Homo-oligomer: A and B are copies of this chain.
Amino acid sequence: MARLLCVGIVTWDWLYRVDEIPPTPIKIEARDLVGTGGGMASSAACAIGRLGGAVEFWGRCGDDAIGDQILADVRSYGVRVDRVRRIPGYASPVAAILIDKRGERLIVPYYDPALDQDPGWLPVEDVPSFDGVMVDVRWPRGAGRALDTAKAAGKIAMLDADLAPREVLDDLMARATHVVWSEAALADWSGTADPAAGLRAARRHHAGFLGVTVGEHGFRWLDGGDVRAEPAPTVDAVDTLAAGDVFHGAFILALAEGKPVAEAARFANVAAALKCRGFGSRTTTPARAEVEAFLANWRVD
């Protein structure tokens, strides 16, 4: 069984399903409400857990009731969380996310500025015991430390390259073995909306694996000088929130299991697409058996 580690952010998200996100401040009743843990690295960890990997999450949350709820939620996916740091006096992050019937989202997170950024406590001596590490951009110092240790140990050191300041992305890209961008972040960083051109621009800063998730279009990656593509299956998407995180988790899991890139991308595309069929962010992440069953029957046109 592949053993993975995810390092980064964990939050509590309240998802309010509304008909329309109003353009002016009024009162609108939500049709549905889902409370769930969120945050990129923790959602990737939850996906790995649900997809059958052995996985641990390292990060920080408050020593408060929301923190208890966050960790119980991550644990419920089969993720080890006992080395998460609880920071006294720090308020765990909580976000309001309004999602309308077209999938448009108004996202209002609160991050307590009192968050301790020191990564010195991370038990990095254990990093070599994992087959791979995945980090997000929300805790650059922790991410850098985890990437360095994984890379030095010859393990997968993957960066989930989401929207972040350029200096954060440049620094973490240099320390990773694998960089998997979101489409918006690659466009923002490279100055081009063309994912292929964006990947080629990133090649000048990163010699390892470079890929980008392109939503309903699936995944693109650099293979030598070529840009290769794996399409995503078409589904009736109800909620795409955390779909990228599920892709990242599934992708590193499949690579750590020894699958070639194209097969890993296919597996991750299916996991992420199936997630989108239900409302509720990562709560609708499919189990391994669902993904395998879908893959067994799926023929790309």
Contact = CB atoms under 8 A, between A and B. Distances in A.
Interface of A: 14, 16, 18, 21-30, 32-33, 35, 65, 69, 91, 94, 96, 98, 100, 104-111
Contacts of A32: 110
17 contacts: A14-B14, A16-B96, A22-B106, A25-B98, A25-B105, A26-B106, A27-B105, A27-B106, A28-B106, A29-B108, A29-B110, A30-B108, A30-B109, A30-B110, A33-B94, A65-B69, A98-B108
A242 to B, nearest CB: 14
Nearest to A109: B29
A18 B29 CA distance: 20
B91 A33 contact: yes
A28 B104 contact: no
Most chain-B CB neighbours within 10 Å: which of A22, A28, A108?
A108
B105 A28 contact: no
Contact of A94 (B14, B69, B100): B14
A283 to B, nearest CB: 14
A24 B35 CA distance: 23
B29 A21 contact: no
Contacts of A111: 29
A66 to B, nearest CB: 8
Given A16-B108, A23-B23, 10 more contacts: A14-B96, A16-B96, A21-B24, A26-B106, A27-B106, A27-B109, A29-B110, A30-B108, A96-B98, A96-B108
A27 B24 CA distance: 16
A73 to B, nearest CB: 11
Nearest to A66: B35
Contacts of A104: 25
Contact of A21 (B25, B65, B69): B25
A18 B108 contact: yes
Given A16-B110, A29-B111, A110-B16, A35 B94 contact: yes
By Cβ-Cβ distance, the 10 closest A-B pairs, closest first, are: A33-B110, A96-B96, A25-B104, A30-B110, A27-B107, A23-B23, A25-B106, A21-B25, A16-B108, A30-B108
A205 to B, nearest CB: 26
Contacts of A14: 14, 94, 96
Contacts of A35: 94
A190 B107 CA distance: 38
A243 to B, nearest CB: 16
Contacts of A26: 106-107
Contacts of A108: 16, 18, 27-30, 96, 98
A98 B94 CA distance: 13
Nearest to A28: B108
A69 B94 CA distance: 16
